[in-house]
Amino acid sequence: MNAPTRRLLGGLATAAVLLLGQARFVHGASPSPLPPSGPTGAEMLSVQPSLISIEAKPGTTSLVKLTLRSAAAFDIKISSRGLAQGVDGSFASVPAEQDTSQYSARAMLTATPASLQVRPGDIHTIDVAIAVPADVGDGSRYAILTITGMPGAAPVGSANVGFGVELGVSAIVKITDTPQTRTGEIRNISVEPALPGQALPIKVEFANTGNSHYGALPNELVTTAVLQDSAGTQLATAGANGNQLSLIPSFVRDIALSMTPSQSMVDNAKYHLEVGVGLKDGTILDRKALDFTWFGGGVLGATSAPVQPPAGAGPTTDVPLIIAAALFGAAVVVLIFVILQRIRRRPAGGQGTAGQGTAGQGAAGA
């Protein structure tokens, strides 16, 4: 991994990990660097580094050390989980049965010890072995190491409140001397309804079909769009919002654009929309076009269309709105568990498990 990417990924802001069923959703936060973590009195549990990023050859094993600090008493469990991504850009740590990406590093990571007990003021070293199979293939691999701290059981009859903490350490394994392929495909373009005088919302579904992630310099995504009327007159242009557009291989995310036409949209009139997704250096990953009829504040009918020359929709270095995203980071959320004398389990089809509290939000949302 190049130095700019390492610096950007290494300075990730706090994100939230939500316990929801079997998936833990990680909402990426601001890429602004954070000061070194504690505990400073505010954190009950902390881990450094927050990101494992290594280059490794096939058939080799690497060792990375994590430093775990505690300001409270916890029973700690450490596990390697798959890293998935939603269309909104949020990341989710998923168990083995849901980890279907061919670019997963979940099975490569082993933490020692896998469980331990900590007391206030304790500092422990966690050894993380990363074993890369000889037949691993090209590109990069991704996983997340979850460190879950649960309070000990309260005395019988106690109504004390216990606090559970979960940390996430993201792992990126770049396979040495293999191609880091960066390709992508626009899967769909849609024009959302808009009231008269309001901006026109555009949604672009973009898939990472390569074997490495997009996000930090120099691999930041740039998305642009051009709207024309039936005569070919340009009515509006738009660029994607300027941050947090990371995307890991094999996943799809929605890219939101907003454009204000120079003329009011006319009922029953036909329009042509062109969209391009590429890199800041001018590399075009994909371009697609859409013809649609406008009526009553929405699209009456839409069909795919050929991209018209010249390549006005393609990303260029003149587009000022550049999207640079930090990929993953350590996530800390405090979960409140009320320890009662009797805890009733919910039915298997319920929305959660007994004893789990509501997860808090990170300092900055996705």
Q: Using an 8 Å Cβ cutoff, are 315 and 223 in contact?
A: yes
Choose from 195-199, 285-289, 304-308, 324-328 the range with maximum mean pLDDT: 285-289
46-100 pLDDT, tens digit per residue, is 999 999 999 999 999 999 999 999 998 999 999 999 999 999 988 889 999 999 9
The hierarchical CATH code for the domain 184-305 is 2.60.40.10
pLDDT of residue 186: 97
Cis peptide before 179 (omega within 30 of 0): no
Residue 106 phi/psi, 5° resolution? -55, -50
pLDDT of residue 142: 97
pLDDT of residue 245: 77
How much is the average pLDDT of 150-178?
Answer: 78
Look at residue 80 and give its three-state secondary structure: strand
pLDDT of residue 156: 53
270-302 pLDDT, tens digit per residue, is 999 999 999 888 899 999 999 999 999 999 999
pLDDT of residue 282: 85
Residue ranges of the domains in the chain? 3-178+331-338, 184-305
pLDDT confidence of 354, banded at 50, 70, 90? Answer: very low
pLDDT of residue 280: 84
Strand positions, DSSP E, 199-283: 200-208, 221-229, 234-239, 252-259, 269-279
pTM given for the model = 0.72
The residue that leads in pLDDT, 366 or 182, is 182
pLDDT of residue 157: 54
The residue that leads in pLDDT, 350 or 187, is 187
pLDDT of residue 216: 76
Q: Yes or no: is domain 3-178+331-338 CATH 4.10.91.20?
A: no
Q: Using an 8 Å Cβ cutoff, are 142 and 303 in contact?
A: no
Q: Using an 8 Å Cβ cutoff, are 110 and 126 in contact?
A: no
How much is the average pLDDT of 207-223?
Answer: 90
The answer to whether residue 154 scores a pLDDT higher than 90 is no
pLDDT of residue 139: 97
pLDDT confidence of 310, banded at 50, 70, 90? Answer: low
The answer to whether residue 24 scores a pLDDT higher than 70 is no
pLDDT of residue 25: 39
Is residue 159 exposed (0-12), middle (13-18) or buried (19+ Cβ within 10 Å)? exposed
What would the two tokens of residue 33 be?
A: 């660097």
> 228 forms bridges with which residues in the sheet?
234, 272
The residue that leads in pLDDT, 61 or 26, is 61
The residue that leads in pLDDT, 27 or 65, is 65
Residue in this structure with the two tokens 């990990």, named with its chain if needed? 17
pLDDT confidence of 3, banded at 50, 70, 90? Answer: very low
> 259 forms bridges with which residues in the sheet?
200
pLDDT of residue 244: 60
pLDDT confidence of 319, banded at 50, 70, 90? Answer: very low
> 85 forms bridges with which residues in the sheet?
91
Q: What is the mean pLDDT of the chain?
A: 76
110-126 pLDDT, tens digit per residue, is 999 999 999 999 999 99
